[in-house]
Amino acid sequence: MKMKIAVLSGDGIGPEVTKESVKVLQSIADAFGHDFQFKEALVGAIAIDQTGNPLPEETLVLCKNSDAVLFGAIGDPKYDNNPDAKVRPEQGLLKLRKELGLFANIRPITAYDSLLEKSPLKKEIIQGTDMVIYRELTGGIYFGEKQLNEEGTVASDLCEYAQYEIERIAHLAFKAAQQRRKKVTLVDKANVLETSRLWRRVVTSLAKEYPDVTLDFLFVDNAAMQMILNPSQFDVILTENMFGDIISDEGSVIGGSIGLLASASVGKGTALFEPIHGSYPQATGKNIANPVASILSAAMLLEQFSLHEEARLIYKAVETMLNENIGTIDLNKDNPSSTSEIGDVIVKLIDSQDVTIGG
Ligand code: IPM
Ligand code: MN
């Protein structure tokens, strides 16, 4: 298979972890006789530094003309600590999601058996956790009108949702549930927010098309508690943009490290694959960041193109590696591997599997 992959590695540890997932994808291409063409482009703070724009036109055009986008991370403390900055790295990612019409962000959370001891949560609680968050990605408070009065004393962010925005992601969530344990939990704040009540009405009505799937509801505050009290109760969580952002970071605690969580953003245009972690500026250039989230995002990329056997090989390699207690410092304090060593281990494990060329 021939595939054009835009590589937007971005800021902080982005380039280091993305380098490893490109390495892994290349090894998959070699093993299966695929032709993956990688093209790099600027995004985020580095793009602002070099062009003044967090999403240069050239980058957007490349993404639109590619089959997939492999994304690293964006963000830089010099913007985080400056609320007055007009141009921010995050605008690059948000605009890219919007321009590509990536309305659904899919974030799987699994408790690997070999890592049960690594989580700050008790083993008995997290054992058996296997959920996936469907986070709406191009609407809600992130994209509503923003205002600040002239005196700079009153600010507002509008949270708006239209029925069609809810329907299109809800369909994806129900279809995913049909392939899994057939349960969708809608997370909202319907006791307070009008948008949440619209979500409930729309999702309840659409659920009739999926009689084999059970639908239940949780207020987001309760959901935040349930996620760490009893995470194995969840199958597919469906939620709006900001709630999904927050609970997915919370969910990363279950797996033992945020450095393991991958995501796929899909919708109308070129799909984008990125780790859910940020740019982790403190670790930049140190070769210590965990590249597994990026590598698993690459596996999700392969799945998107129905290269299931290829993706399975990556999942298996990651699992074998974790079973052998090989990990970066977030997972193995006593004997940490470096970012690039992890990539090498995965490639080696992939190469050691018996793969039929062109299979
Ligand atoms: C994420 C990130 C982004 C978000 C930021 C960087 C804009 O936190 O992908 O979860 O809030 O969506
Ligand atoms: Mn986030």
Report whether 135 belongs to an annotated binding site.
Answer: yes
Q: Name the token pair of 56.
A: 């240069």
Q: Please give the pLDDT value at position 81.
A: 87
Q: Which amino acid, residue 79?
A: Y
**In a shared domain, residues 268 and 248:** no
Query: Which residue is closest in CA terms to ligand 1's atom 7?
Result: 90
Residue 114 placed within a domain: no
**In a shared domain, residues 149 and 242:** yes
Residue 113 placed within a domain: no
CA of 208 from ligand 1 middle (Å) equals 32
pTM: 0.95
Q: The domain containing residue 80 runs over which residues?
A: 1-104+258-359
pLDDT in tens, 36-68: 999 999 999 999 999 999 999 999 999 999 999
User: What is the band of 354 on the pLDDT scale with cuts at 50, 70, 90?
Assistant: low
Q: Collapsing DSSP states into helix, strand and coil, what is residue 75? A: coil
Can you tell me which atom of ligand 1 is nearest the CA of 249? 10
CA of 34 from ligand 2 middle (Å) equals 33
Using a 10 angstrom Cβ sphere, with 0-12 exposed, 13-18 middle and 19 or more buried, the burial of residue 74 is buried
Residue 109 placed within a domain: no
**In a shared domain, residues 170 and 196:** yes
- Residue 93 CB less than 6 A away from ligand 1: yes
Instruction: Give how many domains the chain has, as a whole number.
Output: 2
Q: Please give the pLDDT value at position 83.
A: 86
Final residue in a domain of this structure, among 255, 275, 300:
255
CA 331, CA 259: separation in Å to the nearest integer? 9
The DSSP secondary-structure symbol of 297 reads: H
Report whether 107 belongs to an annotated binding site.
Answer: yes
Q: Has residue 358 got a pLDDT over 50?
A: no
Contact 300, 71 (CB under 8 A): no
User: What is the band of 272 on the pLDDT scale with cuts at 50, 70, 90?
Assistant: very high
- Residue 245 CB less than 6 A away from ligand 1: yes
Residue 112 placed within a domain: no
The residue to mutate among 94, 239, 279, having the most atoms of ligand 1 within 8 angstroms of its beta carbon, is: 94
Q: Has residue 357 got a pLDDT over 60?
A: no
Q: What is the mean pLDDT of the chain?
A: 96
| Whole-number Cα distances in Å, 265 to 131, 157, 161, 306, 330 | 17, 24, 19, 16, 26
Task: Give the residue numbers annotated as catalytic, written as ranges.
Answer: 142, 189, 221, 245, 249
**In a shared domain, residues 220 and 282:** no
Choice between 328 and 359, residue whose per-residue pLDDT is larger: 328
**In a shared domain, residues 323 and 347:** yes
CA of 250 from ligand 2 middle (Å) equals 10
**In a shared domain, residues 123 and 233:** yes
| Whole-number Cα distances in Å, 287 to 8, 117, 256, 341 | 19, 25, 20, 9
Final residue in a domain of this structure, among 255, 284, 300:
255
Strands (E), the chain: 2-10, 35-40, 68-73, 104-110, 130-136, 146-148, 155-157, 183-188, 214-219, 236-239, 262-266, 271-275
**In a shared domain, residues 226 and 279:** no
Can you tell me which atom of ligand 1 is nearest the CA of 97? 12
Contact 104, 244 (CB under 8 A): no
**In a shared domain, residues 43 and 94:** yes
The residue to mutate among 245, 246, 249, 273, having the most atoms of ligand 1 within 8 angstroms of its beta carbon, is: 245
**In a shared domain, residues 240 and 163:** yes
pLDDT in tens, 114-147: 999 989 999 999 999 999 999 999 999 999 999 9
Contact 120, 142 (CB under 8 A): no
**In a shared domain, residues 59 and 127:** no
**In a shared domain, residues 304 and 333:** yes
pLDDT in tens, 312-328: 999 999 999 999 999 99
Specify which residues 67 forms β-bridges with.
none
User: What is the band of 353 on the pLDDT scale with cuts at 50, 70, 90?
Assistant: confident
Final residue in a domain of this structure, among 205, 221, 255:
255
pLDDT in tens, 295-310: 999 999 999 999 999 9
CATH number at residue 65: 3.40.718.10
- Residue 249 CB less than 6 A away from ligand 1: no
Predicted-complex ipTM score: 0.99
Query: Which residue is closest in CA terms to ligand 1's atom 12?
Result: 245
pLDDT in tens, 212-239: 999 999 999 999 999 999 999 999 999 9
